[in-house]
Amino acid sequence: MKILVCDKTETDAIEKMRLAGLTVDTNFEITPEELPNVLPNYNGCVVRSRTKIRQPLIDVCPNLKVIVRGGVGLDTIDADYARSKGITVMNTPKASSASVAELAIGYMFMLARSLYKASSTMKAEKWEKKAFEGDEIGGKTLGLIGIGNIGKEVAKRASALGMTVLAYDPYVKEAESVRLVTLDDVLAQADYISLHLPKTKESADMIGAPQFGKMKPGVRIVNCARGGIINEQALFEALTSGKVAGAALDVFSEEPPTDWKLAKLENVICSPHIGAATKEAQGRVGAEVAEKLIEFAKNT
């Protein structure tokens, strides 16, 4: 079986696949324009966030049997269409869960203690000790929207820090250390709201002006899930009005953004979609990609 690895993947994982008898080529810089000429020669491909596998590309790849997305979610792949063509589509949903959860928790601490602003003033040689009275996150209520693999990891850590954890997820019936409630309950009761769900037709723009209107004044928002779940204009207005005290964003509707006004707000901290970017997560993602492709090859 011939596999094309289109995005950066751990060397150990690639060697493991080769030792198992797979023919593996790598092209971490392959462009969308090059893919239609190259991918038809392969039976499988490995992608991350950078490479998109859409219907027109699938249509010119008659030999393609399997697509593996190293990471959470399948929004970069037209997965249903691929499956309708007999192509197996897989991802690695658990490999990066701990890393994303730690980023979300870290962001909560940064928002609670204004750490970004405090650090910036120090770099400007200012000693503004009285300007940075913060809050403890212990004793506060965290509302999770989505309680899948990552949401559960966040809940575990938040509970250990003394937070009360509420969660809304229509696909989950029970979760440890979490009280499952309605979305309106999360919006009304949470001091912090953290999103952990895929972007789908149902979840696109699910947090907009009406939802911000139901939140507590001074709520803080964390999004390490997907851009486009929160309506960015509505978030901008909630942040500038003071309804939302602060937001921490690892994801945006467009990546990189073409409109930077949200990222430039003083009460916003942000990062360039780095939730899974830890050495540990990358190692686990690569290992799981290799295991899934080796198993697939054995069974075909």
| Helix ranges restricted to H, the chain | 11-19, 35-38, 55-59, 79-84, 97-113, 115-123, 149-160, 183-189, 209-213, 232-241, 279-298
Number of continuous H segments (helices) and E segments (strands) in the chain: 11, 12
C-alpha–C-alpha distance, residues 91 and 285, integer Å: 9
Residue 226 designated active-site: yes
Q: Furthest-apart CA pair in the chain: how many Å? A: 66
List 226, 232, 284, 288, catalytic entry: 226
List 29, 255, 266, 280, catalytic entry: 255
- Among candidate residues 96, 207, 216, the one with its CA nearest the CA of residue 145: 207
Task: Specify the length of the chain in residues.
Answer: 300
List 54, 113, 237, 273, catalytic entry: 273
**For residue 146, what are the β-bridge partners?**
none
C-alpha–C-alpha distance, residues 58 and 53, integer Å: 7
C-alpha–C-alpha distance, residues 162 and 160, integer Å: 5
Q: Which residues are catalytic?
A: 226, 255, 273
